[in-house]
A and B are shown apart, each in its own frame.
Chain A
Amino acid sequence: MSTLEVKNLSFSYGGPRMIIQDINLKIEKPGLYCILGPNGVGKSTLIKCLNKINSPTKGSVLIDGQDLTGMTNKDVSKLVGYVPVGGNDMFSMPVMDAILIGRYTQQKWKTTSEDLAIVARTMKLLGISSLAMHGYNELSAGQHQKVAIARGIVQEAPILLLDEPTANLDVRYQVYIAELLKGLSRMAKMTIIMISHDLNITAKYADEIIMMAPPGIIYKIGTPEEIITEDTIREVYGVDCEIVKDSDGKPHTILGSALWIDE
């Protein structure tokens, strides 16, 4: 397991406007941490700062006490896996090769039987073994999503960042992937940070929720019970709702009406 600390982090894409501002965060134990918040609030920007895709404009990100600024991207990739949002267009290659790309940091020139075994095991874990030798470009958006998640898992990093991993998935796999990520955090002692727009899946599976709000700040951090409240949803998302308890005692959101839209 690894610890992650974010200190006074701000980031801008070069202009005067800070996309995220003065973010402070400390994750000291494995678990499933979900980032919630409206569109454009800086969720993706934040997780891209956690693995040095974005270099902070101000502040710092530390993994196991070491500042990412002093590390190469390759060193960071050994500590932090990443699953970007959505699939991507690429030249046709078998699914196996598309997932093997995630082994770049560990792999030497030749693909070893160890590489093939971890990829084969992970494909089985995600229910895509039958697609191993299918062309990547023949797959649906949901299958692309599973390939992207598999590519992130085979990195075998102690921290895994996922940007909307349940997007494009059917309801069975939305639930399965959420359970899988929770299971990985428990059984493999991984720190998993995922962005989501699904309040109910987040409330059901997250150990902690990081709620972001305009203008790129952390509104509140806490357990699902502390964060998923009618007041918070109304204030951050601008939606009327009713919160009930599900069979596990977790908050379940029944959505009402949108209260405003952005100008």
Chain B
Amino acid sequence: MTDSTSLVNKYLTEWMKKDDTEDFSDIEKSYGHYVWRKWAFMVGCIIVAVVVIGLSLTIGTYKISFLETYQVIWDHITGNIQDVTKDDVIFNLRMPRILAGILAGAGLAVAGACMQSTLKNPLADPFTTGVSSGASLGATIAIILGISIGGMGVVSNAFIFALIPTAMMVAISRMKSASPTMMIMAGIAIMYLFGAITTVLKMWSDPEDLKSLYMWEVGSLGLATWEGVAVMTPVVILGVIAIQLLSRQLNVMATGDDNAKALGVDANKMRTICMVAVAFIAATIVSFTGMIGFVGLVCPHVVRIVIGADNRHLVPASAVFGIALLLTADLIGRTILAPTIIQVGVITAFLGGPMFLWLLLRNKSKVWG
């Protein structure tokens, strides 16, 4: 019989050298290429977004050319306004819509990536904790009953009610150390409860109110105003930064709660922090744009297929991809049947659905499990 430990000794001796004489350049090169691909993807998304922003700003009854748009923006930034009408059209009529698209696209995609990573569930999205059902009930109360908490009608009602399910879930998780599955099930239970109340209220409403409610539920960037953008901007930026700062902890959580704790990350605490951050982002966006679905669910998956699941890169890449997708969808929705506008949520599903299916079928590796 051969000395079986000699093989181990040989490899262990090499492992313990740590003198950097060994050449791992192939692995480092492959890894470097993989990291480069992530940055290339992000730069590509930013380029698409910048072009789409320019195109979007040209669309409308008042004609402004593509290049002229950037000139007007530059003049406005430098304080050298040449054409007041064009400046007014771009900055007061069209810009809030674009900025709302940027904030909603980035916020919803990052919130979705965060929820999927913290709950370790590919079907999680920004609304998994019941934000959508809460916002919907708040909007229904404002539109049908005319009751406004916070004095801003649908906006304040949607925001306040959107946070209630998350508050309930945080309370549940504090009462009992909750697993990701339990969190999702609690979210579903709360969603049905709120949905039932909304349905009862809808049964009492008149057709005009129902139409308004339906328009709000479909979601549109056309509802955006500068006031709304001013509120959305700090919440979304701070929320996205917070999630980005937690991205290494999100990576550790992917190895399971016990292993995360063994590496110094308290998974339960992290889940609560992430849920609160996501709830604020999603509630704020939903309040001003209505329910824009799909972006938060699918964007992170598309990005994962292209650049992998390392949250340090997934979070910013989801943000830029979310912006590019939502603005492109909005542009198509405004032009394809102009002057009729198709709501952005419908176009994101038409655009993103086939793209996602194509990536799923084309990709050899499994996305999950």
Identify the A interface with B (CB < 8 A): 48, 51-53, 72-77, 80-82, 84, 88-94, 96-98, 101-102, 104-105, 107, 109, 111, 113, 116-118, 120-125, 129, 132-135, 137-138, 151, 155, 175-176, 179-180, 182-184, 187-188, 247
Identify the B interface with A (CB < 8 A): 1, 4-5, 7-9, 11-16, 18, 20, 22, 24, 27-28, 30-31, 34, 116-117, 120, 122, 248, 251-252, 254-256, 258-259, 261-266, 304-305, 308-310, 312, 364-369
**Interface pair A92/B304, CB less than 8 Å apart:** yes
Kindly report which residue of chain A lies nearest to residue B122, judged by CB atoms: A91
Name the A residues within 8 Å of B256 (CB-CB). Answer: 84, 88
Name the B residues within 8 Å of A122 (CB-CB). Answer: 15
Name the B residues within 8 Å of A51 (CB-CB). Answer: 262
**Interface pair A129/B27, CB less than 8 Å apart:** yes
**Interface pair A183/B255, CB less than 8 Å apart:** no
Kindly report which residue of chain A lies nearest to residue B304, judged by CB atoms: A91
Name the A residues within 8 Å of B264 (CB-CB). Answer: 72-77, 104-105
**Interface pair A132/B27, CB less than 8 Å apart:** yes
User: Given the interface contacts A91-B116, A91-B117, A179-B5, does A101 sit within 8 Å of B366 by beta carbon?
Assistant: no
**Interface pair B262/A90, CB less than 8 Å apart:** no
Kindly report which residue of chain A lies nearest to residue B28, judged by CB atoms: A116
Kindly report which residue of chain A lies nearest to residue B308, judged by CB atoms: A93
Secondary structure type dominating chain A contacts: helix
**Interface pair A73/B120, CB less than 8 Å apart:** no
Chain B nearest CB from A151 CB (Å) reads 7
**Interface pair A77/B263, CB less than 8 Å apart:** yes
**Additional A-B contact list (8), CB under 8 Å, known A117-B24, A122-B15:** A52-B261, A73-B265, A77-B263, A81-B262, A97-B310, A121-B22, A137-B367, A187-B9
Kindly report which residue of chain A lies nearest to residue B116, judged by CB atoms: A91
Name the B residues within 8 Å of A138 (CB-CB). Answer: 364-366
Name the A residues within 8 Å of B18 (CB-CB). Answer: 117-118, 121
User: Given the interface contacts A91-B254, A92-B365, does A124 sit within 8 Å of B14 by beta carbon?
Assistant: yes
A sample of 13 cross-chain residue pairs with beta-carbon separation below 8 angstroms, ordered by A number, consists of A73-B266, A77-B262, A84-B256, A97-B251, A105-B264, A116-B28, A117-B18, A132-B27, A132-B30, A138-B364, A180-B12, A182-B8, A183-B5
Kindly report which residue of chain B lies nearest to residue A122, judged by CB atoms: B15
**Interface pair B7/A176, CB less than 8 Å apart:** yes
User: Given the interface contacts A53-B258, A90-B255, A135-B366, does A104 sit within 8 Å of B263 by beta carbon?
Assistant: yes
**Interface pair B366/A93, CB less than 8 Å apart:** no
Name the B residues within 8 Å of A175 (CB-CB). Answer: 4
Name the A residues within 8 Å of B263 (CB-CB). Answer: 73-74, 77, 82, 101-102, 104-105, 155
Give how many A-B residue pairs fall within 8 Å (CB-CB): 162
**Interface pair A89/B368, CB less than 8 Å apart:** yes
Chain B nearest CB from A183 CB (Å) reads 5
**Interface pair A124/B11, CB less than 8 Å apart:** yes
User: Given the interface contacts A180-B8, A188-B16, does A135 sit within 8 Å of B312 by beta carbon?
Assistant: no
Name the A residues within 8 Å of B1 (CB-CB). Answer: 247
Chain B nearest CB from A134 CB (Å) reads 8
Inter-chain CA distance A124–B14, complex, in Å, is 9
Inter-chain CA distance A197–B192, complex, in Å, is 46
Kindly report which residue of chain A lies nearest to residue B17, judged by CB atoms: A121
- Chain B CB count within 10 A is highest, among A91, A96, A118, for A91
**Interface pair B14/A121, CB less than 8 Å apart:** yes
Name the A residues within 8 Å of B22 (CB-CB). Answer: 121
User: Given the interface contacts A113-B28, A151-B255, does A91 sit within 8 Å of B12 by beta carbon?
Assistant: no
Q: Which listed residue (A75, A116, A137, A188) contacts B369, Cβ 8 A?
A: A137
Name the A residues within 8 Å of B120 (CB-CB). Answer: 89-90
Kindly report which residue of chain A lies nearest to residue B12, judged by CB atoms: A183
User: Given the interface contacts A76-B264, A104-B248, A125-B15, does A91 sit within 8 Å of B31 by beta carbon?
Assistant: no
Inter-chain CA distance A195–B263, complex, in Å, is 20
Kindly report which residue of chain A lies nearest to residue B27, judged by CB atoms: A120
**Interface pair A184/B12, CB less than 8 Å apart:** yes
User: Given the interface contacts A91-B254, A180-B12, does A82 sit within 8 Å of B366 by beta carbon?
Assistant: no
Inter-chain CA distance A84–B312, complex, in Å, is 24
Name the A residues within 8 Å of B122 (CB-CB). Answer: 91
**Interface pair B365/A137, CB less than 8 Å apart:** yes
Chain A nearest CB from B136 CB (Å) reads 29
Inter-chain CA distance A92–B7, complex, in Å, is 32
**Interface pair A73/B28, CB less than 8 Å apart:** no
User: Given the interface contacts A93-B309, A93-B310, does A135 sit within 8 Å of B28 by beta carbon?
Assistant: no
